Structure 1
Amino acid sequence: MEAVLPIEVEIPSMRILLNFIDEKRLKALCHGQCYQQRMVRAFNARVRHRNFNPGDLVLRKVLHVTPNSRGKFSYKYDGPFVVKEVFSGAAVILSDMDGTKNAIPVNADAIKKYYP
């Protein structure tokens, strides 16, 4: 603990003001980190994990609008497709029902399971 002169109690010196500023910065930093951890926990509590296995039937979301589409009445999903490979990071290789393999990996967020 540092010694404080009696005159510094009434009129704080720059040294004491800097100590208060550093303390407030540390407190704000700690508060921000605690807030981020709470937000991460709240978000992760609502996340539904999707597990796909090779051989599963899935529908792929249509991500673009074609020129001859029917507007809001167009199909939202294509398919069904068969899962050929599953990679880490939620990437999936799909193939058509007849077995032709698509070379483009698809994100698992853009597909959902199909139950015939």
Structure 2
Amino acid sequence: MEAVLQLESQILSLRMAIREGLTDEENAKLRLQELEVLDERRLEAQQHFECYQAQVSKAFNKKVHPCSFQMGYLILALRKAIVTTHKTKSKFTSKWDGPYVIQEIYTNGAYLIMAEDGLKIGPINGRFLKCYYP
């Protein structure tokens, strides 16, 4: 790190190089050294960024709990995911609708749910569902 600081103080603009009495070759060498130092700094920054991303993803994944349901489970579905056209009547109405029964399981976490009266609700993502405990 000290070598980098020394190089930075030595690297001069063309006007300053002429003023200091440096030849074009010496100035060109200093510029090449500066470029090499910049490549090293970029590599260090990239490594630091990758370590930071790994730490952030590890912290995020600690809080993620994968949830999977089996056929026949009783579940509640988020009301907004099912009915998006009408607004709720008051702020005290439940955000969850149900209970529903899981009819089919699709790939990528999608589920086909059915109401107790036999009405099938289209495929819904599993993140909008939670277990129902009577």
Report TM bin, short chain.
0.7 to 0.9
Which of 117, 127, 131 is the equivalent residue of 1:98? Answer: 117
What is the rounded CA distance, in whole Å, between the counterparts of 2:91 and 2:53 in structure 1? Answer: 38
Identity %: 34
Query: Structure 1 or 2: larger helix share?
Result: 2
**Unaligned ranges ≥5, structure 1:** 1-7
Map of 1:1-116 to 2, 5 A cutoff? 11-12=10-11, 13-63=30-80, 64=84, 66-67=86-87, 69-102=88-121, 104-116=122-134
Distance 1:46 1:88 in 2: 23
Gaps of 5+ in 2: 1-6, 12-29
In structure 1, C-alpha distance between the alignment counterparts of 2:35 and 2:107, rounded to whole Å: 49
TM-score (norm 2): 0.71
RMSD between aligned alpha carbons? 1.9
1:68-109 Cα shifts (integer Å, max 9, x gaps): x3321122111111011222322111111133322x211111
How many residue pairs were aligned?
A: 106
- TM score, norm. by length of structure 1: 0.81
